[in-house]
Amino acid sequence: MGLHYGGLAMRRFIVKPEAVRRDASGHPHSLQLNADEAWHLARVLRLAPGEAIVAVDGLGMEYEATLTKVCAQQVEATITAVCRSLAETKMPLVLFQGLPKADKMDFIVQKSTELGVAAIYPVVTKRVVIKLDQNKAQSRVARWERIAREAAKQSGRAVCPVVASPVCLPQAITTADLSYLLVPWEEAKQPLAAVLAKMKQELPNSAAELSQMRIGLAIGPEGGFSCEEVEQLVALGGQAVTLGPRILRTETAGIVALSAILFALGELGGP
C-alpha cells in the first residue's frame, strides 16, 4: 500500500530523515532530495515542478510532495500528505545468508528486500567458497546496498534494509538480538509449518510489542551448513527445520522460507 495520485502510483524516492524540513511544531512541510536522486528525477525521469512524487525516509514514513524546484543538482518539494507505510512487516525479519558464488547474492538481496526483510547479513561459513578481502568486501556491500535501495523503491517500501559487512556466522547471530532463529537444513525432521504454527501461538497481539521482536533466518551457502554449524546455531537458540523433500539452491531456499514465514504470519495473503 502506498500513496497514489490520479489513480497511478507516483514515482518514489528515498530521502534521509534530516532532509525532511519541519516547522516549529514539528510538522513536516518540505523536503530535499540528495544529489543522486535529484539527478535521476531531473535527467532520467524528466519530472517538472508541479508534479507529484512520494518520498520515503527509511524510518517507515511516506511523504506525498509536489515538486517546487527541479535541477540536476537539487530537487525540492512541498509536502502535501504524510502517512506511515503499510508495506513493512509487523515483526522484522533478518536474513543470514551464507556467501554464495558469482552474482547470486545480488539476486538474494533484491528478492529478500522485495519480500520485506529488515536486515541482511552476508555470513562466512565452513563451506563458503568465495574469498573477499577488505576492499572487495566494501565494494560488494556498496553494490548490495544500491540493489537494496532500488528494490525497496520498486516494491513500494518505506524502509531500506540494512546490508551488513560479511562476518562469521556466530558473530552475526549473537549481535542481531533475535527472538526466533529458523535454520532450514536438509537433514532436519521438524517441518517449518509446525514451528511457525507454534510461534504464532506465542506471539503478542500488540503491534508495538511485535515490532520489537525479530525473526532470524539462516541459510547456508551452496554446500549447506555442516552438522557442527547447525549444532552451534541450535545452541544459540535456533531451530533446525525442513522445507520439504526437495533440495533447494541457496538462492532459492531463503526466498522460499521467507515467503512461507510471511504467509504464515499473514503478511503475504496468509491467515
Q: Is residue 270 part of a domain?
A: no
**CATH number, domain containing residue 71:** 2.40.240.20
d(CA 188, CA 181): 14
**How many distinct structural domains can be found in the chain?**
2
159 and 203 part of one domain: yes
256 and 159 part of one domain: yes
Instruction: Give the structural domain span for 38.
Output: 4-84
Per-residue pLDDT of the chain (271 residues; tens, 9 = 90+): 445 444 456 899 999 999 999 999 999 999 999 999 999 999 999 999 999 999 999 888 999 999 999 999 999 999 999 998 889 999 999 999 999 998 999 999 999 999 999 999 999 999 999 989 989 999 999 999 999 999 999 999 999 999 999 999 999 999 999 999 999 999 999 999 999 999 999 999 999 999 999 999 999 999 999 999 999 999 999 999 999 999 999 999 999 999 999 999 999 987 7
Contact 54, 63 (CB under 8 A): yes
Contacts of 26 (CB under 8 A, 6+ apart): none
Contact 34, 76 (CB under 8 A): no
**CATH number, domain containing residue 193:** 3.40.1280.10
Contact 113, 140 (CB under 8 A): no
Q: Is the pTM of this model over 0.75?
A: yes
Mark which of 26, 57, 84 sits at the end of a domain.
Answer: 84
Contact 144, 132 (CB under 8 A): no
Provide the β-strand partners of residue 52.
66
The closest alpha carbon to 214, from 100, 108, 89, belongs to 89
31 and 74 part of one domain: yes
Q: Is residue 269 part of a domain?
A: no
The answer to whether the Cα torsion of 49, 51, 56, 60 is positive or negative is: positive
100 and 199 part of one domain: yes
127 and 185 part of one domain: yes
Mark which of 65, 84, 103 sits at the end of a domain.
Answer: 84
d(CA 22, CA 8): 28
154 and 224 part of one domain: yes
The answer to whether the Cα torsion of 186, 188, 189, 194 is positive or negative is: negative
